[in-house]
Amino acid sequence: MSQVSQRQRSPSPQSPEKVAQREKAAQAMKRRNQTQPSFFDKYAYHLVIGAFGFVCVYALFSILTRSSKKLTTAPVIDEEEIAAHNSLGSYLQGPNDFFKDWKFSDAKFIFNNHLTFKGKIQQCPESGVIIPESYNFREAQPECAQPIYFQGNCSSSYSIAAVSATSDRLCKSKNGEFQDQLSPQSPISCDDKNYKCGGGSVTRVLEVGKKQGFVSTSCLPYSGTEDAKNNCDALFSNCEKYKIHDYCVVSGEENIKREILNNGPIVAVIQVFKDFLVYKGGVYEVVEGSSKFQYGHAVKVIGWGKQDGVNYWVIENSWGDSWGLKGLAYVAVGQNQLQLEAYSVAPIVAASTEKSAE
């Protein structure tokens, strides 16, 4: 009996075929229990890198496209941008007649002005005159104040500022008795060494004033074009000429103030930023991030002052009296990006006029 029970409890031997089937089934179950990786898990790294690259390329393309589009289509006078700026409590911006209907791509063509192409210019003599806290040539010498120029679509500020400063200095040197307004048109129309309405050099204009002389606006009014109303030779034969002795360079805040106080306005060529085109009042300081034009713009510096603790220059511009403070602007002193204090030029006027010998 015990032997029979022992045989019943012992497992019966399995054939090799059944063992093989069992192992095969176990392997199949193991494969089914293993989780296969998804497509994203398998290629996640590649997808992320690809997406990042696409975003970068798209962003760069968008910026370049937008910048190009803005340059060619954005108006200089944008009421929404002006209102947004004025809400910040900085200097005041506003529309003006000069840049009405202009786009930034139009404006860039009037900023091709330079102070000089010469390597060296004599320094203006220094003086020890006491400098007042504020000064404005137009207020100190009202009999010498000239109408504000409207230069038009002509890069002529190099001639306007130089000739206008000469007029002011002649008037001051003659105690207000010189009432003629000299014309910036003759250097534009008759001097081939500058680029006429394409821009030019302030000192080249003063060279004309030194060697040939300037004529008055009654003889040749400013037209904002490259053509003179008469032949240039005939013009200089029939018009009275006003020569200057020479010109000099002045640098630094104190020296510029003394030169203006002693002799009259000086000429500076400033770097123009886009926010300057809609200046309307207050003390102008370049808005951070504002883009600039490639070349410069000549202005006449006529004085200085102080507002809310900020020292400023008084400049006279050539964009008409609807721009800025009736054609003037207060520009904060010490803005290196404008380059005003670095290098300015002053005409040294003659004490008498000279008729053409021709």
Tell me: pLDDT of 331 over 90.
yes
Distance of alpha carbon 125 from alpha carbon 145, whole angstroms: 25
For residue 182, give the DSSP letter.
Answer: B
Contact 353, 241 (CB under 8 A): yes
Tally the domains of the chain. 1
- pLDDT per residue as tens digits for the range 76-105: 999 999 999 999 989 999 999 999 999 999
Q: Per the domain annotation, does 114 fall within a domain?
A: yes
Taking residue 221's Cβ as centre, other Cβ atoms within 10 Å add up to: 11
Contact 202, 114 (CB under 8 A): yes
Contact 214, 182 (CB under 8 A): yes
Respond yes or no: is residue 85 known to be catalytic: no
List the domain range (segments joined by +) for residue 252. 79-349
Matching residue, tokens 């002006």: 82
Distance of alpha carbon 202 from alpha carbon 209, whole angstroms: 11
Between 62 and 257, whose confidence is greater?
A: 257
Q: Per the domain annotation, does 172 fall within a domain?
A: yes
Q: Supply the CATH number for residue 193's domain.
A: 3.90.70.10
What is the H or E stretch that residue 294 is in?
strand 292-307
Residue among 216, 111, 192 at smallest CA distance from 158: 111
Listed in sequence order, the residues at least 6 apart from 286 whose beta carbon sits closer than 8 Å to its beta carbon are: 273, 275, 276, 335, 337, 338
Q: Per the domain annotation, does 167 fall within a domain?
A: yes
Catalytic one among 33, 113, 317, 336?
Answer: 317
Q: Per the domain annotation, does 65 fall within a domain?
A: no
Q: What is the mean pLDDT of residues 222-249?
A: 86
Residue among 162, 149, 170 at smallest CA distance from 115: 162
How sure is the predictor about 8, in pLDDT bands with cuts at 50, 70 and 90?
very low
How sure is the predictor about 61, in pLDDT bands with cuts at 50, 70 and 90?
very low
Q: Per the domain annotation, does 29 fall within a domain?
A: no
Say what the pTM is: 0.79
Q: What is the pLDDT of residue 69?
A: 42
Q: What is the mean pLDDT of residues 239-258?
A: 96
Do strands 283-284 and 292-307 pair parallel, antiparallel, or not at all (unpaired)? unpaired
Catalytic one among 153, 255, 297, 336?
Answer: 297
Respond yes or no: is residue 297 known to be catalytic: yes
Q: Per the domain annotation, does 129 fall within a domain?
A: yes
Q: Per the domain annotation, does 312 fall within a domain?
A: yes
